[in-house]
Structure 1
């Protein structure tokens, strides 16, 4: 079994393993460390002796590492004795409890004792199984910064004695924003991978959708929960048409819309209707944009003026350089590339997206439409150098070469 296969198993199972170990040990940091030791051992052992049940192997090995660590902690002999005893089944049923270890783990990672940045980084590391490099790229911050946030977060959780359990209903609302932002970033990583040789990471994306559905059941009166679920469903509906048989990315204008998952579209529109009851928030507005795309028969027939208005509204309630860049793309379709280029150049002048391949990608497309081919090629080549996803990079290089 190759290292890539080990990584694939870890990516799928890491959250469940860490969550189960946290419930078992009562120690969030210990659980994550033990799980990491297990996957490190798998990288050495599995190429020689592939396990019959990879997930079970990881769980059993991580559990042994956790017990070994507890044994070494002489001050925790009493806890070890409890762990060694037969498990006690709690017969009392709490109707407000959701039996989902991963969701409980997310609420722990999003505990209010942590800063927002630490909550997101810790949950992405432990729940989504993302590397520190992937998290750093998602948030456009240095890798050492992410590493420091995760280390401090685990120490803070341990010092605060946060129990492994879903918080009471009144506390869930307080932590909901952090949880939603984590689900959103997990989904975006799945819908367009920041690195590697695949455009999509469906396992991460569909896990985010599962968590969003669970959150919608837990907090049915929160519009933004339904807004996020709608956004995920409507975006994932395009997955079947976004890549060719060999994994090559297919741009929106070239997609066979008959291959879209229209059941996902219907689920997304239903969730968007629930989100619209009290007015749309940031996730709901993004879902509304996705809904415009989902209802259009082609790129040319898309209501780009409405998309521009929705991006303007999104920029007021949740301003960010990425929102501005996306607005520029919509403006180009609605009013022409010259108007959009002014928006992009303003972003460059303010240096609001340093190191991102997205800005030169959009600028290269706009310059191509304006007939400024040498400048366009330079921008697309720059975007290819900055892009860390091999599939996206190949598309950018082909576009640049076509301008010769």
Structure 2
């Protein structure tokens, strides 16, 4: 199939009203039960000429850019990507853009202290009002926990599911009143606020987003929490517990050893460290070129092997919990909120941003639905919990 794609990408000739590139793209999509100009919700409808040539030549980056440009449409992008990913079609479409992306990740430290601030400026500083409209009441920008726990029924709303996740983290850490907790990548402070209110702890949170820190300080001024605008590598204080929810995706494999060393030096010898991160099934460098350029610059998803290798010198793995399927439902809830709030932001952000954000949320939902990427919570201890760690769910 790769040979067909390569040949068709350079041949715009039409046969019977359809170009050879469209024929090749149609054959490729059919492997995932997706049709060009079909009438099912997950089918692709071409709105401009040259889309097939563009996509076959440019791979996933071109596919996303063409969608942003309004060159094609799909009613259910989440279902489209679920089918494409389950059929493993992306492996035949990476092209030069992906090869260059992987090479950069191998040769450069894309998440150095200087580069680390880029994602804060370009993603997290998009606007507090925008994120408040998309997220739950506590502004928790990480996977929710819909399954319930501790005798509670499954969540039915995003607010309930996010509070269930925050409570799950607190219980896994065994928080007790008076403890001091470090939150690496604290966002707007959803975990710190919850933990301080419900468990009586004091928290220090670090973020690389000025807007997150500013709003977090306003929202949580009544609680014993502190926001610091810092890179994680600058931390050297000791805490009873360390937590990191949805930040490790920005660390990069070249920095995993340093990250784990920081977590260890900041953690009491009898403490616990909870790492909550998206992860990939295989060990590889780089990330999807479209996601890197338009959503999370310099991001990289870890594998279990790489996390384990980096943790080895510092920690005992007490628990590993995968609830990646819950991220599909979380992303769909964010998408519903985004669509409902869009009239408030459309004039300022524009149609291209709307299509970019919709594509981001729904293609990620499809990837989790296809079980191509996961959500892990690791509980780590410096020396092993005496008598063993008791699993919490």
Q: TM-score range by the shorter chain?
A: under 0.3
Instruction: Point out the structure with max Rg over C-alpha.
Output: 1
Normalised to the residue count of structure 2, the TM-score between the two structures is 0.26
Higher helix share: 1
Normalised to the residue count of structure 1, the TM-score between the two structures is 0.26
Higher strand share: 2
Which structure carries more relative contact order (alpha carbon 8 Å, separation 6+)? Answer: 2
